[in-house]
Structure formats: C-alpha cells, structure tokens
Amino acid sequence: MPKKFLHIGPGNSYKNNTTPFFNNDEWEETRYDINPDVKPDILGSMLDMSEVSDNSFDAIYSSHNIEHVYPHEIRTAFSEMFRVLKDDGFLFITCPDLQAVCEEVAKGNLLKPLYNTTSGEGIAAIDIIYGHRPSLKAGNYFMAHKSGFLSSDLVNELKSVGFTSISAVKSKEAYQLWCLSYKKSFKTQNDLNNEILLHFDKDINVSK
C-alpha cells in the first residue's frame, strides 16, 4: 500500500511537480489548497486544517507557502502540519532564502531577473520578497508574501512547535531554502543531509 503525503498549496501542480522522492508509485498524493479554482482534494487554509485528521499522513510537501502567512501565524501553520503527521512522519518544505535575495538587492538587483522559471519567465528579487507581480496584478492576492526566513529562523520555528530532527539547505539556483523535519523520529545530521539529497536531481547545487 502506498504511503500518503499531503501536498500543501500545490496551485495547479501535482505529484509530478514535487520531487523525485515523492514522484513514484510508493507515494499517494492528497492536494490541499486555499484556492478552489485549482480543484484541491481538500479545500482549506494552513492556519486551520481541521478537515485533516490527526496523525493521518506519512509526509507533507509544501513548496513556497509558508511565506504567505504573517509572522505571528507561522507557528499556527507549523503546529497544524505537526498535528496531521504520523509520529514517524516528516515535513519537506521550501521557501525563499531571504538572505540570498537581500544580498542581490544590496547589489542593486531589485528588478533584474535572478532566474527563469521552467516556462522561461524571469523572476526578480521584488517577486521573491513581495510575491509574484503578474499574479498579484491579476487579483490573485493569495500570492502575496507576508513573511520571510533565514535558514536559522526556519529551523527555530519548526523546533518551537515540536519537530525534532531538522536540517536545512540552500539552493542557489532559485534562491530557496529547503528543510526536512521529522515529527518525532530521531535522525543524525548525516542521515538528514543524505535524505534531503534524495529529493533533488543530481545536478542541483545545494549547500548548508
């Protein structure tokens, strides 16, 4: 029987847009989103996941969602994720690396594209800090960014709600932080680092 992962805030994405670790027959995806237009399996907010039972998922995947809640709401969102995970479950999350982005802003690169999406669209520092400008212009205010993280801040927020074994890495290509957090299982730092690499293509450049 496949393991179950909760895909939080997928937008129009599905399992094949997550990571190589999840994109196989060993995992069954449940899509959870606040936007009814993307037809999620479960409609709801990260701040109130009452439609999801306690201890019901083996893993959670969340790509570029936590920056869409206000700083005082971060622990509420992480507490909900912690609640719905099984005791041996884990959270794999990514969000902007604010330190790397701000270094580009300090160089005067606020509006210059820093990288291109798979569709060829240029993403600038202003998009990473405040939210994707074309989406906001179109009235999709779910895309506004309300908080930001350094690697250490992300780890500390996860620890504060009870996650035990945590490791974070940086991806230079898209100015991102990636963090693997286990609910209760103890993992060595070396084990965590090796597990994180299973989520990436071999040619991606990650660092602590």
Please write the tens of the pLDDT for every residue from 141-151: 989 999 999 99
CA–CA dist 181, 153 (Å, integer): 14
Q: What number is the average pLDDT over the span 22-31?
A: 96
**Mean pLDDT for all residues in the chain:** 93
DSSP 52: S
Give me the pLDDT at residue 172, please: 77
pTM of the model: 0.93
Q: What number is the average pLDDT over the span 179-195?
A: 91
- What sign has the CA pseudo-torsion 23, 48, 132, 145? negative
Give me the pLDDT at residue 83, please: 98
The residues spanned by each domain of the chain are 3-97+147-207
Q: What number is the average pLDDT over the span 164-178?
A: 89
Q: What number is the average pLDDT over the span 17-45?
A: 95
Give me the pLDDT at residue 127, please: 97
Give me the pLDDT at residue 21, please: 95
Nearest Cα neighbor of 79 from 33, 43, 35, 48 is 48
| Phi-psi label, residue 64: left if phi above 0, alpha if psi -120 to 50, beta otherwise | left
Q: What number is the average pLDDT over the span 2-18?
A: 95
With 60 as the cut, is the pLDDT of residue 206 above it? no
Q: Tally the C-alpha atoms within 13 A of residue 95's C-alpha that lie toward its C-beta.
A: 30
Give me the pLDDT at residue 135, please: 92
pLDDT tens column, 73-88: 999 999 999 999 999 9
Q: What number is the average pLDDT over the span 99-127?
A: 94
pLDDT tens column, 122-145: 999 999 999 999 999 999 898 999
Give me the pLDDT at residue 207, please: 56
Architecture (CATH level 2) of domain 3-97+147-207? 3-Layer(aba) Sandwich (3.40)
CA–CA dist 138, 131 (Å, integer): 12
27-33 and 122-124 beta bridge pairing: unpaired
